[in-house]
Chain A
């Protein structure tokens, strides 16, 4: 359900932003900054997924399609054509949107798990293509030698944080507007919406395009942090990891998935102490959350806290 955004939400959001901003500059080693930059990119991917699939209930199992599209665009423009990385900030999301349109038209009319599988197949096809056409794409090793956008990793972290904040604000405002209401209605009963004269397909496609744009943007930022792009950015595993982050954060809330993304990214690194048991422990924690917290962890937690505040 759509809760109105209250002052308390803005205050806490700003506080969270403050913590994210101050933390690395106080405790930041290249390690911490690196992990957090990656976490922020995942935050953008999770939020963009949530906007489309969290609201409409049409789960997209191929979100990595847009991520890879944005990342490889950045890779091509910078490595193959020698353009400045800043162009990718525009081109990447644009290419991702094109993919969104191309896939949206034929697949959004599919029901249930069919849309999910169609998107999954599309991403898998792209992954295979990048490997087969290795001459142009660098194959399994990918494209490397991307230029960093900024010399200081800390400054780049702030840039990424800025874009994440922008993404969060735009998507949350959209989600809370009549647009969001409409998307939630689609989840409830698409037929009734159509009957009411609303062009549901139009809204679904545009939402997918918006979702794609922000995912692509995240892809570009990730590419210029990692300075390398590979077929793993089109992988099914990536899409699934993002869905898990959204679930842990709380579907439909936009901010929850961002929290989920940051939390899970930090956990995978924090569990290094378990050496070869790292992923095993991580999976155990996931199982725990999925089993005991059906609405996720972060958004429900926040709702409880804010209910106490007048």
Chain B
């Protein structure tokens, strides 16, 4: 008896360890985040850096449910020359070989749309942080069981951005500035082609005249024909929608020719903190929508912005705010679900109520980030003297007056 007890105890301990240890190992296995983005572009680099920043912070605080995060990156390639195939391979690699637990990324809508069926087939959660096409989230409604994994954290989708623009047109341009004639031009990306008719309708229904509503090729290098036509039409404002095309050149040509029509709208490149300097200050008075700014959108924003600059030596672009929030939102969902198991996390994600660096994040029935007062906002920001950025719309968050281009003296 006396001999057997220690042996029994040892055997029991061994058995216990044999059972508990793998389970414990399972529970301390890192949670893998796969980042699929265009690594050669600024938006891609900032997304990766923002994810790493969030991951490092969370890991420093002990991780989530005792598990640490690990980041893996896969290049989506250059959409223009390689199409979606590199992105699809990236997604397949991350899910099929690296066995990530979640995907955070996306930039070009065409590539993301191409990746979706493959992500859905792999049954992995995707937190979109760069693509704006509404078609992406529409799939959640059309086929929930198959596409319930797809969420969009950033940016606000282009259809909603369009509503924000109509609000700007009617409220600011017509309401406050009393313009009666505006023109609209946009690059011929699909989402722009979808929203321009809606914008035109919104403006005309408010009693404004829209003499020109045109598209131009993304590769356009010479905008003089457009400026001339817009000027000749007597338009008082030129609403622009530019995402991939050459904003730098557009703005420089506008300034150099001293076009007597102010410009503003969606201009993704104009969101860059160094845009003003990049174009030698020629962006003065341009208005562009922004999703993240060094301004107290929430109590976390300014601190995060400054940290990012300190860590990486450059100001973040819109994908950075989204990626940073996405990591925390995912962590938060795991905590509330009590596990990292996909279906449980999806249920938790759907009930997200998280205050990030861009605003308060909740998801609607299409897994889209909610926009509007109190949530994540589309801010209309104007470049003013010396590169100062002033929020001039919506009224509730505006912190300055809108100015005219220096060569136009009066409204």
- Decide yes or no whether B159 CB sits under 8 A from chain A: no
Q: Please, which residues of chain A bring their CB within 8 A of the CB of B56?
A: none
Known A-B contacts A132-B188, A230-B84, A233-B83; the reply to A141 vs B135 at CB < 8 A is yes
Q: Please, which residues of chain A bring their CB within 8 A of the CB of B114?
A: 144, 226-228, 230
Q: Is B84 in contact with A31, judged by CB distance below 8 angstroms?
A: no
Q: Is B118 in contact with A141, judged by CB distance below 8 angstroms?
A: no
Tally of contact residues, A, Cβ under 8 A? 37
Q: Is B40 in contact with A31, judged by CB distance below 8 angstroms?
A: no
Among A134, A237, A268, A269, max chain B CB count under 10 A is at: A134
Q: Is A30 in contact with B190, judged by CB distance below 8 angstroms?
A: no
- Decide yes or no whether A261 CB sits under 8 A from chain B: no
Q: Is B84 in contact with A228, judged by CB distance below 8 angstroms?
A: yes
Q: Please, which residues of chain A bring their CB within 8 A of the CB of B193?
A: 134-135, 139
Contact with A along B77-121 (1 / 0, CB 8 A): 011111111101100110111000000000001100110111001
- Decide yes or no whether B301 CB sits under 8 A from chain A: no
Assembled-state Cα–Cα distance A275/B74 (Å): 8
Chain A contacts with B in 185-231, Cβ cutoff 8 A = 226-228, 230
Contact with B along A30-72 (1 / 0, CB 8 A): 1110110010000000000000000000000000000000000
Q: Is B83 in contact with A230, judged by CB distance below 8 angstroms?
A: yes
Across the interface, B89 reaches (CB within 8 A) one of A34, A138, A235, namely A34
- Decide yes or no whether B122 CB sits under 8 A from chain A: yes
Contact with B along A244-284 (1 / 0, CB 8 A): 00000000000000000000000011001001101100000
Q: Please, which residues of chain B bring their CB within 8 A of the CB of A31?
A: 89, 92-93, 96-97
Q: Is B74 in contact with A139, judged by CB distance below 8 angstroms?
A: no
Interface secondary structure of A, over-half rule: helix
Q: Please, which residues of chain A bring their CB within 8 A of the CB of B118?
A: 30, 34, 227
Q: Please, which residues of chain B bring their CB within 8 A of the CB of A237?
A: 81
Q: Please, which residues of chain B bring their CB within 8 A of the CB of A228?
A: 84, 110, 113-114, 117
Q: Please, which residues of chain A bring their CB within 8 A of the CB of B95?
A: 30
Q: Is A38 in contact with B83, judged by CB distance below 8 angstroms?
A: no
CB A63 to nearest CB in B, in angstroms, measures 15
Across the interface, B97 reaches (CB within 8 A) one of A29, A128, A145, namely A29
Assembled-state Cα–Cα distance A31/B98 (Å): 10
Assembled-state Cα–Cα distance A278/B133 (Å): 28
Q: Please, which residues of chain A bring their CB within 8 A of the CB of B85?
A: 38, 226
Assembled-state Cα–Cα distance A29/B118 (Å): 13
Across the interface, A34 reaches (CB within 8 A) one of B80, B83, B92, B188, namely B92
Assembled-state Cα–Cα distance A269/B79 (Å): 15
- Decide yes or no whether A295 CB sits under 8 A from chain B: no
Chain B contacts with A in 38-86, Cβ cutoff 8 A = 39-40, 73-75, 78-86
Contact with B along A136-148 (1 / 0, CB 8 A): 0011111011001
Q: Please, which residues of chain A bring their CB within 8 A of the CB of B109?
A: 140-141
Contact with A along B182-200 (1 / 0, CB 8 A): 0000001111010000000
Q: Nearest residue in A to B194 (C-beta to C-beta)?
A: A134
Interface residues of B (CB under 8 A from A): 39-40, 73-75, 78-86, 88-89, 92-93, 95-97, 109-110, 113-114, 116-118, 121-122, 133, 135, 139, 188-191, 193, 217-218
What are the 4 tightest A-B residue pairs by CB atom distance, in nearest-first order? A232-B83, A30-B96, A139-B190, A29-B96
